[in-house]
Amino acid sequence: MIDLKKIVLDEVAENFKRVEKISEQNTLKVLNAMRELKISDTHFKTSTGYAYGDIGREKLDALFAKIFCASSALVRTQFVSGTHALATALFGVLRPGDELISLTGEPYDTLQTVIGHAHPAKGSLKEFGVAYRELPLLNGKVDIAAIKNFITPKTRLALIQRSRGYSMREPLTTSDIEKICAAVKSVNKNCVTFVDNCYGEFVETREPVEVGADMAAGSLIKNIGGGLAPTGGYIVGKSDLVELASYRLTAPGMGNELGASLGTPRLLYQGLFMAPHVTAQALKGAIFAAGIFSKLGYKINPLPNEIRGDIIQAIELGTADKLIKFCRAIQNFSPVDSFAAPEPWDMPGYEDKVIMAAGTFVQGASIELSADAPLRKPYAVYLQGGLTFEHAVIGILAAAQILETE
């Protein structure tokens, strides 16, 4: 394994340099936004109750808006997860009779539950009379040529998922997103282009709104929270759309003007500041894992030196047994709950049983070194995160070792 490590590190050296360069540019972007908006200690003060006039909350929204090149942002620990932020945006914008489409094939598992068309789900968009269709992928890629004929004048919102989710399809790059948004707008200007940005933040130097998306949303316990955000999600985009989402998060008429920060502001600001670097650490871990597991003969996606659109490394392990062993190794080499053995379980919002290794400081935070997978063919494990590259290397080599000593 020591030899293999050296060989892989040599082979990916150029790609690491690329990742470092992106991290440097994104750090500068975040830093300049913080300088321009004159972030100061006063913004870290906590608020309670209704929290009217919470300047820390307002500044953080402004900061996210600037970084994402959006006119407005809603960044809240009141979002319980990324799915909640995405669902809030969908329920905020869509009305009974509207049509929602997915342009990236089957959406992420929990979004399918929110939409309610793949399987019945209480409280889903389907129950509220929102129609849904999805454009299948073509050889694992978005069928851009087919978009024009797929959209109708009735289509209100097009969902575009940047990351691979639990699938072997490739994540989108921001230039893919640019082409997709342009195709949508060429037939229906009023169709809202909405990007599920989970796992994509700071992987490149551009973000979805910058390349033509009307709105994007994601989780604070993935890339953008830098490992420090204790919980939460965000929505960024056009002001009118973010406003609609805010009425769904709180209540009509209240919107973004309420919401106590309860001690979290510094963690959200500092996490944002750390996020470009932490994302780069996670990316290096993913690249390293790709190198090691391809050398061991496993089918991997993406390849070690392929351009990445998210921080996920998919590794096809082929059997449920190997999947479980892999996740247990990652858990065993985690700083928290190293003594626990993950078991496949029925996670809320997911159809298949899911196994999850997340020996993390923040529960389930997948910007920390973690591995998870639904128990279904081709038994691919999805590895992501690592607050430090060093930790990712240790965990990945431990997992490789266990599978090799079979």
Ligand X SMILES: *Cc1c(COP(=O)(O)O)cnc(C)c1O
Chain positions contacting ligand X, by CB under 6 A: 81-83, 86, 108, 110, 161, 163, 165, 196, 198-199, 219
Whose Cβ is closer to ligand X: residue 81's or residue 88's?
81
Whose Cβ is closer to ligand X: residue 47's or residue 83's?
83
Note whether 160 and 191 are within 8 A (CB): no
**Closest distance between ligand X and the C-beta of residue 387, in Å?**
17
Count the Cβ atoms, other than its own, within 10 Å of residue 256.
20
CA 96 from centre of chain? 28
Whose Cβ is closer to ligand X: residue 234's or residue 333's?
234
**Closest distance between ligand X and the C-beta of residue 80, in Å?**
8
Q: Cβ-closest residue to ligand X?
A: 82
**Closest distance between ligand X and the C-beta of residue 41, in Å?**
30
Please provide residue 388's backbone torsions phi and psi, each rounded to the nearest 5 degrees. Answer: -130, 145
Whose Cβ is closer to ligand X: residue 54's or residue 109's?
109
Size of the chain in residues = 406
Half-sphere exposure of 47 (CA within 13 A, CB side): 20
Whose Cβ is closer to ligand X: residue 29's or residue 162's?
162
**Closest distance between ligand X and the C-beta of residue 217, in Å?**
9
**Closest distance between ligand X and the C-beta of residue 324, in Å?**
21
The residue ranges of DSSP E strands in 243-376, in sequence order, are: 299-301, 313-316, 354-357, 370-374
Note whether 91 and 59 are within 8 A (CB): no
**Closest distance between ligand X and the C-beta of residue 312, in Å?**
8
Whose Cβ is closer to ligand X: residue 134's or residue 196's?
196
**Closest distance between ligand X and the C-beta of residue 233, in Å?**
7
Calpha distance 49→160 (Å, rounded): 36
CA angle 247, 275, 158 (to 5 degrees): 45
Whose Cβ is closer to ligand X: residue 105's or residue 395's?
105
Note whether 67 and 29 are within 8 A (CB): yes
To which H or E segment does residue 36 belong?
helix 13-36
Calpha distance 297→308 (Å, rounded): 21
Whose Cβ is closer to ligand X: residue 123's or residue 129's?
123
Whose Cβ is closer to ligand X: residue 114's or residue 287's?
114
**Closest distance between ligand X and the C-beta of residue 50, in Å?**
27
Which residue's entry shows tokens 């190997």? 322
Whose Cβ is closer to ligand X: residue 84's or residue 322's?
84
Note whether 166 and 356 are within 8 A (CB): no
Whose Cβ is closer to ligand X: residue 163's or residue 173's?
163
Note whether 160 and 196 are within 8 A (CB): yes
Contacts of 95 (CB under 8 A, 6+ apart): 130, 156
**Closest distance between ligand X and the C-beta of residue 165, in Å?**
4
**Closest distance between ligand X and the C-beta of residue 109, in Å?**
8
Which residue's entry shows tokens 């972007």? 29
Please provide residue 197's backbone torsions phi and psi, each rounded to the nearest 5 degrees. Answer: -95, 10
**Closest distance between ligand X and the C-beta of residue 157, in Å?**
16
Report DSSP letters for 99-158, one per residue.
Answer: EEEESSSSPPHHHHHHH-SSS--TT-TGGGT-EEEEPPPBTTB--HHHHHHH--TTEEEE
Note whether 108 and 165 are within 8 A (CB): yes
